Structure 1
Amino acid sequence: MMEKIKIGAIGLGRLGYQHAENIAFKIPGAELIALCDKNEEKLNETVKAWGIPYSYTDYDEMIKNEELDAVVITSPSALHTTQIANALEAGLHVFSEKPLGTSVEECKVAEAAVEKYPDLVFMLGFMRRYDPSYAYAREKIKNGEIGKVVLFRGYSQDPESCIEGAIAYAGHSGGQFIDMAVHDIDLARWMLDSEPKTIHAIGGCYAHEEFGKYKDGDNVSALMQMENDAMVFLFAGRTAPHGYNVETEIVGTKATLRIASVPQKNMVEILDEHGVRRECSQDFLERFEQAYIEEINEFISCIRENRKPEVTVYDGTKTTEIAYQCKQAFETNELIRP
């Protein structure tokens, strides 16, 4: 049996911690041997609790570790492309969280690095592709079961309860379209197998004016027409009162597919003084728990089987490009023709 793939992970924020925990305890083909984070207290606490051999506060020091086979990058978005390039240069396979970069120029740097090292595996974390429901829906679309696609509608809403974190991060996020809608942009491209030919975007600061100083909104939307004439409507919001809500609908000429039209936490119904209700997922980690495991499993399988994942560096560049075109349309209130 092949030895486990030895991984170093950077970033112990919410998603970084989840990835690290999954690699340490839920991915049979992987072994987490190194962790890196600027927060020494959290780093030391985690390394000690999990029995991780190596810890670093400097990423460039971590990737010099000759025991490593691969890295998983969940650091601030602006660091991704440099860290991707440095890891590939060090001979390591790379999994990076989205976005690929916070500008198209940054994405091109990552593209050049990936092209320079064709024998290494690079994978980008568009985890929704690995959610069983989305994968199932895409097969139905590919098989022609819903006929010609008329409309893709994607909603991504964060709960109002998380607004303080969103405001604090707003100056570094790149805006709603790059930070949130990028997942729906990727899904639309993936499911429709087409690119946008026109983009219009609107929105505003409906509850939190703080986003306005970054030329952003707390709720934004975009309408696109794809090259295959399908319509795409995207909505990204920060103020959902009920919880974390990712909802997708694909309308075809023969059938309609809806994914998570109610963002229910589980199949339980509660009957009490409020009536009959279902509880909602409260964050992305809960909703996409299995998808995060499956995408790292796929990364490990690609390394073992010497093949490339379906998600490429070019998907990262293209979604970033479209997200910025949405941002441009939002800021200028003009129709964009990519």
Structure 2
Amino acid sequence: MKKIKMGMVGLGRLGIQHAENIAFRVPQAELTAVCALEEDKINEVQENWGVPYGYTEYDEMIQNEELDAVFLCSPSSLHCDQIEKALDAGLHVLSEKPLGTTVEECKVAEKAVEKHPDLVFMLAFMRRYDPSYVYAKKMIDEGKVGKPFLYRGYSQDPESAIDGTLEYLAHSGGEFIDMAVHDIDAARWLLDSEPKQAWAIGGCYAYPQFAEYDDGDNVSALMKFENDAMGFLFAGRTAPHGYNVETEIIGTEGILRIGSVPQKNLVEILDQDGVRKECSQDFLERFDQAYVDELQEFVDCIIEDRKPDITVYDGTKNTKIAYDLTGSFQENKLIDIE
């Protein structure tokens, strides 16, 4: 069986997890090359996992004729340029979210994808591949909740991770593009509609450093969709209990809730402090299987010569909506989304 030889770009916290999934958890994939700025990380992965090639220059890596595809987990502002270069080099591309940090960047990626219809391009919005979200989507499509008319999404990072968040602030693009974009995509997907109006609010309730970038440490938005459905999302950086992603879909005939009580597993602890459940502490733990399943879908698309359901245009729409919400937040006003 032919394996898809992949190059991993970026070996940060998420990148190293993606690299491990390529190397060990998807049988049809092979980790052939890694690329990062940190030579010590490259050397460690090569030595420990037997990866043949290591690069500190992306342009050099994509000239490796052994590669079939690349997985981009680089800084968000580099995605679109790297997507274009990889596709022009004849490589399939799986890119982490967001597609780009500006709509102009996203348009560059759109043209690159359109130029290479024979290649697979896929965006890694992992909730679309999480077993619980996949099941909820199936129930909605089968009419099990009637007509869905409200999406409610909470996405909260643990306050224990705030130091890393503050270090990344200058490059994040803001909380709507960096974090709430997952709920934007999930709402569009689950409601099967596009938002047409929105009002975003929030503030710096615990960390004034966010204000230096016209951002907030906790933000929210209310959206009205073209099919008249409502959407509410909340994104925060200061959860005291752990990593918390919670989604609710309300329909005319039923309600779906995903992760309404955030928990690490099904274990309950009974001790001198009472009865409690532990929470996942980061996205790697909560969406572990989703990251594997999205990679499997990408590999299957290449092998089966088909395209994934999520497109480059979804990436552009998610980025545009996120920046529209950022503008609403900064200007404190209701906006129309074109």
The Cα of 1:92 is off from its aligned counterpart by 0.4
The Cα of 1:167 is off from its aligned counterpart by 0.8
Once the two structures are overlaid, the 10-residue window that deviates more, 87-96 or 145-154, is: 145-154
The Cα of 1:76 is off from its aligned counterpart by 0.5
* Runs of at least 5 residues in structure 1 that lack an aligned partner in the other structure: none
Task: Return the alpha-carbon distance in structure 2 between the equivalents of residues 318 and 252 of structure 1.
Answer: 24
Task: Return the alpha-carbon distance in structure 1 between the equivalents of residues 44 and 121 of structure 2.
Answer: 30
Aligned counterparts, 1:313-328, within 5 A: 313-328=312-327
Q: Deviations over 1:111-159 (max 9, x none)?
A: 0000000000000000100001001101111111111112100000000
The Cα of 1:273 is off from its aligned counterpart by 1.0
One-letter identity of the residue aligned with 2:175: Q
Are residue 195 (structure 1) and residue 197 (structure 2) matched?
Answer: no
Task: Return the alpha-carbon distance in structure 2 between the equivalents of residues 51 and 139 of structure 1.
Answer: 40
Q: Could you state the TM-score of these two structures normalised by the residue count of structure 1? A: 0.99
Q: 1:244 — aligned with what?
A: 243
Q: 1:126 — aligned with what?
A: 125
Q: 1:76 — aligned with what?
A: 75
Runs of 4 or more, structure 1, over 6 Å off, are: none
One-letter identity of the residue aligned with 2:314: D
Task: Return the alpha-carbon distance in structure 2 between the equivalents of residues 51 and 30 of structure 1.
Answer: 14
Q: 1:279 — aligned with what?
A: 278
Aligned counterparts, 1:13-32, within 5 A: 13-32=12-31
Q: How many residues align?
A: 337
Q: 1:104 — aligned with what?
A: 103
Task: Return the alpha-carbon distance in structure 2 between the equivalents of residues 300 and 109 of structure 1.
Answer: 24
Q: 1:166 — aligned with what?
A: 165
Aligned counterparts, 1:280-295, within 5 A: 280-295=279-294
Q: 1:156 — aligned with what?
A: 155
Aligned counterparts, 1:41-60, within 5 A: 41-60=40-59
Task: Return the alpha-carbon distance in structure 2 between the equivalents of residues 295 and 112 of structure 1.
Answer: 24
Task: Return the alpha-carbon distance in structure 2 between the equivalents of residues 151 and 192 of structure 1.
Answer: 8
| Contact preservation (8 Å) 2:174, 2:215 | yes
The Cα of 1:242 is off from its aligned counterpart by 0.1
* Runs of at least 5 residues in structure 2 that lack an aligned partner in the other structure: none
| Contact preservation (8 Å) 2:149, 2:191 | no
The Cα of 1:177 is off from its aligned counterpart by 0.2
Task: Return the alpha-carbon distance in structure 2 between the equivalents of residues 148 and 305 of structure 1.
Answer: 34
**Counterpart of 2:246 in 1: which secondary structure?**
strand
Q: 1:89 — aligned with what?
A: 88
Task: Return the alpha-carbon distance in structure 2 between the equivalents of residues 291 and 87 of structure 1.
Answer: 24
Are residue 226 (structure 1) and residue 234 (structure 2) matched?
Answer: no
Task: Return the alpha-carbon distance in structure 1 between the equivalents of residues 87 and 305 of structure 2.
Answer: 15
Q: 2:256 — aligned with what?
A: 257
Task: Return the alpha-carbon distance in structure 1 between the equivalents of residues 245 and 77 of structure 2.
Answer: 25
Task: Return the alpha-carbon distance in structure 2 between the equivalents of residues 169 and 145 of structure 1.
Answer: 41
One-letter identity of the residue aligned with 2:322: A
The Cα of 1:236 is off from its aligned counterpart by 0.1
Q: 1:303 — aligned with what?
A: 302
Are residue 62 (structure 1) and residue 38 (structure 2) matched?
Answer: no
Task: Return the alpha-carbon distance in structure 2 between the equivalents of residues 32 and 11 of structure 1.
Answer: 13
Q: Deviations over 1:183-235 (max 9, x none)?
A: 00000000111001110000000000000010000000000000011100000
Task: Return the alpha-carbon distance in structure 1 between the equivalents of residues 171 and 37 of structure 2.
Answer: 17
Task: Return the alpha-carbon distance in structure 2 between the equivalents of residues 142 and 192 of structure 1.
Answer: 10
Task: Return the alpha-carbon distance in structure 2 between the equivalents of residues 31 and 150 of structure 1.
Answer: 43
One-letter identity of the residue aligned with 1:73: L
Give the superposed CA RMSD. Answer: 0.5
Q: Could you state the TM-score of these two structures normalised by the residue count of structure 2? A: 0.99
The Cα of 1:91 is off from its aligned counterpart by 0.2
One-letter identity of the residue aligned with 1:153: R
The Cα of 1:335 is off from its aligned counterpart by 0.6
One-letter identity of the residue aligned with 2:80: T
The Cα of 1:331 is off from its aligned counterpart by 0.5
Task: Return the alpha-carbon distance in structure 1 between the equivalents of residues 187 and 280 of structure 2.
Answer: 23
Task: Return the alpha-carbon distance in structure 2 between the equivalents of residues 24 and 49 of structure 1.
Answer: 11
